[in-house]
Amino acid sequence: MLAFSEEFVSNLDSGQDWEKYLFSWLRTKGCYTITTHQYGLLDEAPYIHCPDGTKLPQPDGMISYKSELSFIEVKHKTEYLVRDYPILKTGLDLISFRNMQRIKDITGIPVWLYFIHTGGEEENRFILAQEIDELPAPERSFTDSTSDSQLAVWPISVFKNKGSSDKLLEFAFEQLAEQ
């Protein structure tokens, strides 16, 4: 296993970098990828335009695997949202989660959440992936005591698809070395 300096990991801290590395890694696993985030001048995600005139921010990308199409939303974390010892929990903004549920409902296309945890001890570094319809109802939490922004939070144990983020870190390191 490769050892990574904190400087290397911090250089990949950008969510966009992690999206790119995850999609590249998924291609090595036989997936076709469609990145929907525009890495360009405006750095703005595209929208799904609904017949009623509403717009929903589109997830980070899509994959096609064995003729099945899925949306992918990638979240990079350097620490867990809640450390309810010994239970580690992760999550995302509740509004974003509800938007993804709505996208799944109106398009019929599954939406997968990928949480890439790279901080802390080796046993706490994971890639967690789950189709949102297979997740239990999230717990709700506030970002802090002064905020009214709510989070959708789950214990990491509810994710059926879990692997070491070290493999993705190794892949990202190889990609950087080739540049």
Q: What is the mean pLDDT of the chain?
A: 78
139 vs 125, more confident: 139
Residue 1 placed within a domain: no
| Domains: count for the chain | 1
Q: Which of 99, 127, 117, 32 is nearest to 70 (CA)?
A: 32
Three-state DSSP class for 54?
A: coil
Q: Is 106 exposed, middle or buried (0-12, 13-18, 19+ CB in 10 A)?
A: middle
> If you average pLDDT over residues 14-37, what whole number do you get?
83
Contact by Cβ (8 Å): 103, 45: no
pLDDT at 108 over 90: yes
What backbone phi and psi angles, to 5 degrees, belong to 5?
-75, 155
Concatenate the DSSP letters of all residues of 90-134 into one string: EEEEHHHHHHHHHHHHHH---EEEEEEE-SSSGGG-EEEEEEGGG
Long-range contacts of 120-126 (CB under 8 A, 24+ apart): 120/78, 120/79, 120/80, 122/166, 124/80, 124/88, 125/164, 125/165, 125/166, 125/169, 126/156, 126/162, 126/163, 126/164, 126/165
Cα–Cα dist 151/172, whole Å: 29
Residue 77 placed within a domain: yes
Residue 118 placed within a domain: yes
Residue 97 placed within a domain: yes
Q: Using 50, 70 and 90 to split pLDDT, how confident is the model at 97?
A: very high
Which of 3-7, 45-49, 60-64, 102-106 shows the highest mean pLDDT? 102-106
The confidence score (pLDDT) of residue 141 equals 72
Residue 167 placed within a domain: yes
Which of 32-41, 102-111, 115-124 shows the highest mean pLDDT? 102-111
The confidence score (pLDDT) of residue 38 equals 57
The enclosing domain of 137 has a CATH number of 3.40.1350.10
Give me the percent of the chain exceeding a pLDDT of 70: 68
Q: Which of 93, 91, 85 is nearest to 117 (CA)?
A: 91
CB atoms within 10 A of CB 123: 7
Residue 64 placed within a domain: yes
Provide the residue range defining the domain that includes 88.
6-178
